[in-house]
């Protein structure tokens, strides 16, 4: 189909955008048969462009038409045409619209007069007579509105309509014919654009610097002003502009340089520093990037378990001991969240600080099916489990550990450690922590979110045990969060999970035993003549170890070992020749069975404190240390020790129970309550006895990181230093 020819005039300019994004300018020489003769502005030879070529470029939005020769435009005209019509103030646009009426009238009368000046005079008279009263009313209305706006800015009374008389407007005058000629010539010569009639009021005034500028290394008043602004105004702690101006005056007086006024000083700041530049100099580039940067939203994944987020959070609630009722501190919460469906795959809550132990329990809870049949008060199930494809997390030590790297290799998923201080890259889980803080903890006794801390002591008002906190979070997840419409996915998370899992089935873990073997902590140890030594404990199975050790290179080889951080009773050794794991039980189950990594380190330090320097620690010493630690924990809960010490003692009691029971399997042995307390020294209240019963119904869990809406969590402490301090406190209590 033939293209309809487009109408252009000789002297017009066409801008063609090429495939690389560049722009080529062509001037129209004249009309040719079936097209136009165009001359490129780069000096090349002219050529004829067919109507089809021009129409195709026009339809593809690669053509821009300028009804004038843009190469020969004066600078002031080019500057005006570069700006859009909306850039100019309302008053300036109103004057340009009135000038358009004059030049349009000239265009209509110019052929009726033999002398053009007569046409200009006739147009001036006709337009002024027809629109004089109308334009005067517009000027008065504009003046009243401008005065009202100025009064509001000065915090004065806003004028009423009756106050219009005192407002003075400049008299409306009939333009001179020579003025109309200047408007008409400019308007008709450069494309009849209304912007050509804009008054050049923005060019009025003296635009030269008042004081001479030095372009060499010598100082002038403007260089001194910039130094004073950046050193005394745009630094922390923040100071006022008049303080920086006083320093500027002192420097000018010292250097014998003229000084500008305070008003010019403030204008210099506004014209030379954007708000972002000022914020960046005061708070740093990163803070300015976060405040003024524009971030693109990522496209959510299409498949469930394609991308998950993992993070830790110190919850905004004080937990108490189930028997004594004394405050223990704030537990840690670890959560694994699916990005596509926004369901929570797994969680862990306990007093265990962020470590691989808490991460391992959260992963195990996310990988396997949950069993909620024995938990009362729940209305819905939690059918979310499986192995993810990508795990997005921060740069915590446990999230960069060799153990997690081996786990991702064995279970075929990838861990991506996000850059430091970029919480928005895992904003879904950060927002989730904020929701938990507000919807679960904000109305409970013992919350730290109270805004009246002078009248509300969260430690003294704490009432919930760790098991009760665990149950409240669990009920919120399965009965509220999963069943409420999520604003991002526009449906219920559990409904989205069921829809997507029908299309994309989840990848299961090979078997239940793999939960510990594939997620446990990884170490490499050789096989000695008696077995495998780890943390002062001996693990042995002669039948298995003899076969492994007898192989070529078996004496010097370091074998891959998996350890459950909550149970040192046995370890798993990997036979890489046949691809099998073998269980090696500890030869001393009394000091290892159901003993966590944290507990074992405490036992070793207690034994070391009770022995002379250089004396080796024996099994008997560890048994005595274990007994002493258990008795000390009981004593600490009975006596009113500090909350920080009680939190460490509660961490010692953690047994690694998952957030909820797992279907047809148990990671750890059944939890055991502490030994009964002396009724004379401690009398548990009714809520404490209720908590004791709930401790069996809902197991506890562990966690870590800072929610988006809560205060920053305390920095992670060194593991060994924390144990050292706790042992010293315990030893002082026992003396």
Where are the chain's structural domains?
A: 13-72, 81-203, 221-292, 307-503, 518-584, 597-693+717-734
What does the angle CA 388 – CA 392 – CA 397 come to, to the nearest 5 degrees? 115
Higher per-residue pLDDT: 486 or 296? 486
Model confidence band, residue 169 (pLDDT cutoffs 50, 70, 90): low
Model confidence band, residue 150 (pLDDT cutoffs 50, 70, 90): confident
- What's the confidence (pLDDT) of residue 724? 56
Section 82-87 average pLDDT: 84
Instruction: Judge whether 522 and 561 are in contact, CB under 8 Å.
Output: yes
Q: What is the DSSP letter of 322?
A: T
470 pLDDT higher than 50: yes
Determine the number of helices (DSSP H) and then strands (DSSP E) in the chain. 23, 18
221-228 vs 262-272: helix axis angle to the nearest 10? Answer: 70
Section 578-593 average pLDDT: 89
Question: Worst-scoring range by mean pLDDT, 35-49, 453-467, 695-709?
Answer: 695-709
Section 720-726 average pLDDT: 53
- What's the confidence (pLDDT) of residue 120? 93
- What's the confidence (pLDDT) of residue 695? 33
158 pLDDT higher than 80: no
The two most distant CA atoms of the chain are separated, in Å, by 125
- The tokens for 17 are 């955008």
597-609 vs 643-653: helix axis angle to the nearest 10? Answer: 120
CA 247, 250, 254, 258: dihedral to nearest 10 degrees? Answer: 100
Model confidence band, residue 323 (pLDDT cutoffs 50, 70, 90): confident
Tell me yes or no: is domain 307-503 CATH 3.40.390.10: no
- Nearby residues of 310 by Cβ (< 8 Å), 6 or more positions away: 334, 335, 336, 337, 359, 362, 391, 392, 393, 399, 429
pLDDT above 70 coverage of the chain, percent: 85
- What's the confidence (pLDDT) of residue 33? 85
Model confidence band, residue 471 (pLDDT cutoffs 50, 70, 90): very high
Give me the half-sphere count of Cα atoms (radius 13 Å) on the Cβ side of residue 677: 23
What does the angle CA 723 – CA 725 – CA 726 come to, to the nearest 5 degrees? 65
Residue 438 CA: distances (Å) to CA of 338, 490, 682: 21, 21, 34
Section 415-442 average pLDDT: 90
219 pLDDT higher than 50: yes
Higher per-residue pLDDT: 649 or 45? 45
Tell me yes or no: is domain 518-584 CATH 2.60.420: no
Question: Worst-scoring range by mean pLDDT, 7-11, 417-421, 579-583, 644-648?
Answer: 644-648
Instruction: For residue 316, give the 3-state DSSP assignment.
Output: coil
Q: Is 225 left (phi over 0), alpha (psi -120 to 50) or beta?
A: alpha
What does the angle CA 57 – CA 59 – CA 65 come to, to the nearest 5 degrees? 60
Q: How far is CA 486 from the centre of its chain?
A: 19
- What's the confidence (pLDDT) of residue 177? 93
Higher per-residue pLDDT: 368 or 635? 368
d(CA 326, CA 328): 6
Model confidence band, residue 103 (pLDDT cutoffs 50, 70, 90): very high
Residue 654 CA: distances (Å) to CA of 350, 455, 564, 566: 7, 33, 14, 8
Section 409-419 average pLDDT: 89
Question: Worst-scoring range by mean pLDDT, 59-73, 280-294, 616-630?
Answer: 59-73
Model confidence band, residue 731 (pLDDT cutoffs 50, 70, 90): low
- Nearby residues of 307 by Cβ (< 8 Å), 6 or more positions away: 301, 338, 339, 340, 388, 389, 390, 392
Interval 606-637: pLDDT, tens: 888 888 888 888 888 898 888 888 887 777 66
- Cβ neighbours around 110 below 10 Å, total: 16
Model confidence band, residue 676 (pLDDT cutoffs 50, 70, 90): very low
- Nearby residues of 600 by Cβ (< 8 Å), 6 or more positions away: 535, 537, 568, 591, 592
Instruction: Assess whether the region 221-292 and the region 518-584 belong to the same CATH fold.
Output: no
Q: How far is CA 616 from the centre of its chain?
A: 51
Instruction: Judge whether 668 and 307 are in contact, CB under 8 Å.
Output: no
Interval 21-30: pLDDT, tens: 788 888 899 9
- What's the confidence (pLDDT) of residue 122? 94
Instruction: Judge whether 539 and 587 are in contact, CB under 8 Å.
Output: yes
364 pLDDT higher than 80: yes
- The tokens for 266 are 């403030």
d(CA 36, CA 278): 53
Q: What is the DSSP letter of 115?
A: S
Model confidence band, residue 693 (pLDDT cutoffs 50, 70, 90): very low
Instruction: For residue 574, give the 3-state DSSP assignment.
Output: strand
Residue range 221-292 forms a domain whose CATH class is: mainly alpha
Is this structure's pTM higher than 0.85? Answer: no
Long-range contacts of 404-412 (CB under 8 A, 24+ apart): 404/356, 404/359, 406/522, 406/560, 407/363, 407/518, 407/519, 407/522, 410/518, 411/367, 411/387, 411/509, 411/514, 411/518, 412/387
- What's the confidence (pLDDT) of residue 675? 38
Segment of 42-46, 182-186, 453-457, 609-613 carrying the highest mean pLDDT:
182-186
pLDDT above 90 coverage of the chain, percent: 38
Model confidence band, residue 453 (pLDDT cutoffs 50, 70, 90): low
- What's the confidence (pLDDT) of residue 389? 94
- Nearby residues of 152 by Cβ (< 8 Å), 6 or more positions away: 158
Segment of 77-81, 634-638, 689-693 carrying the highest mean pLDDT:
77-81
- Cβ neighbours around 626 below 10 Å, total: 20
494 pLDDT higher than 90: yes
Section 256-278 average pLDDT: 93
Average per-residue pLDDT for the chain:
82
- What's the confidence (pLDDT) of residue 639? 63
- What's the confidence (pLDDT) of residue 704? 31
């Amino acid at each position: 189909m033939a293209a309809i020819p487009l109408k252009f005039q000789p002297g017009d300019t066409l801008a063609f955008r090429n495939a690389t994004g560049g722009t080529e300018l062509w001037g129209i020489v004249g009309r040719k048969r079936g097209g136009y003769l165009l001359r490129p502005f780069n000096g090349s030879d002219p050529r004829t462009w067919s109507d089809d070529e021009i129409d195709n470029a026009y339809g593809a939005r690669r053509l821009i038409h300028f009804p004038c020769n843009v190469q020969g435009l004066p600078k002031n005209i080019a500057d005006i045409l570069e700006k859009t019509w909306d850039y100019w103030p309302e008053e300036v646009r109103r004057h340009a619209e009135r000038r358009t009426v004059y030049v349009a009238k000239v265009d209509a009368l110019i052929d009726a007069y033999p002398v053009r000046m007569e046409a200009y005079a006739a147009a001036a008279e006709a337009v002024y007579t027809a629109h004089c009263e109308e334009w005067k009313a517009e000027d008065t209305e504009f003046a009243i509105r401008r005065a009202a706006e100025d009064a509001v800015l000065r915090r004065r009374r806003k004028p009423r309509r009756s106050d219009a008389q005192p407002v003075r407007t400049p008299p409306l005058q009939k333009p001179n014919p020579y003025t109309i000629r200047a408007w008409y010539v400019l308007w008709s010569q450069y494309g009849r654009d209304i912007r050509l009639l804009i008054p050049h009021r923005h060019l009025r005034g003296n635009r030269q610097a008042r004081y001479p500028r030095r372009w060499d290394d010598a100082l002038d008043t403007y260089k001194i002003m910039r130094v004073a602004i950046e050193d005394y105004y745009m630094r922390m702690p923040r100071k006022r502009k008049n303080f920086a101006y006083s320093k500027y005056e002192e420097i000018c007086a010292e250097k014998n340089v003229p000084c500008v006024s305070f008003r010019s000083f403030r204008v210099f700041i506004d014209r030379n520093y954007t708000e972002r530049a000022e914020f960046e100099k005061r708070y740093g580039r990163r803070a300015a990037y976060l405040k003024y940067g524009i971030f693109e939203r990522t496209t959510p994944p299409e498949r469930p378990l394609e991308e998950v987020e993992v993070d830790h959070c110190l919850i905004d609630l004080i937990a108490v001991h189930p028997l004594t009722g004394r405050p223990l501190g704030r537990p840690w919460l670890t959560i694994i969240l699916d990005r596509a469906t926004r369901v929570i795959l797994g969680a862990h809550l306990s007093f265990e600080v962020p470590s691989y132990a808490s991460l391992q329990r959260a992963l195990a809870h996310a990988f396997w099916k949950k069993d909620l049949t024995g938990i009362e008060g729940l209305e819905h199930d939690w059918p979310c489990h499986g192995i993810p494809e990508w795990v997005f997390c921060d740069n915590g030590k446990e999230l960069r550990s060799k153990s997690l790297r081996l786990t991702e290799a064995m279970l075929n998923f990838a861990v991506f450690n996000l850059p430091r201080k970029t919480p928005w890259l895992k904003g879904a889980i950060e927002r989730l922590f904020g929701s938990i803080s507000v919807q679960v903890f904000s109305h409970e006794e013992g919350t730290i979110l109270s805004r009246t801390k002078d009248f509300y002591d969260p430690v003294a008002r704490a009432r919930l045990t760790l098991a009760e906190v665990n149950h409240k979070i669990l009920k919120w997840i399965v009965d509220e969060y999963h069943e409420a419409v999520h604003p991002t996915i526009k449906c219920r998370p559990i409904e989205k999970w069921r829809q997507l899992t029908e299309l994309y089935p989840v990848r299961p873990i090979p078997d239940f035993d793999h939960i510990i073997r594939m997620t446990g902590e990884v170490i490499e140890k050789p096989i000695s003549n008696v077995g495998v030594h780890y943390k002062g404990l001996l693990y042995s199975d002669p039948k298995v170890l003899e076969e492994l050790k007898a192989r070529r290179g078996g004496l010097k080889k370091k074998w891959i070992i998996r350890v459950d951080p909550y149970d040192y009773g046995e370890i798993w050794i990997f036979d890489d020749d046949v691809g099998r794991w073998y269980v090696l039980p500890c030869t001393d189950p009394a000091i290892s069975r159901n003993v966590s990594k944290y507990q074992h380190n405490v036992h070793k330090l207690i034994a070391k404190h009770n022995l002379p320097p250089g004396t080796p620690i024996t099994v008997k010493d560890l048994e005595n240390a274990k007994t002493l630690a258990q008795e000390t924990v009981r004593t600490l809960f009975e006596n009113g020790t500090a909350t920080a010490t009680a939190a460490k003692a509660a961490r010692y009691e953690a047994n690694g129970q998952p957030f909820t029971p797992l279907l047809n399997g148990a990671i750890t042995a059944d939890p055991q309550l502490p030994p009964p307390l002396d009724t004379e020294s401690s009398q548990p209240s009714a809520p404490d006895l209720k908590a004791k019963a709930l401790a069996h119904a809902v197991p506890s869990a562990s966690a870590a990181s800072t929610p988006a809406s809560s205060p920053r969590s305390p920095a992670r402490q060194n593991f060994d230093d924390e144990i050292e301090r706790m042992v010293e406190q315990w030893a002082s209590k026992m003396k």
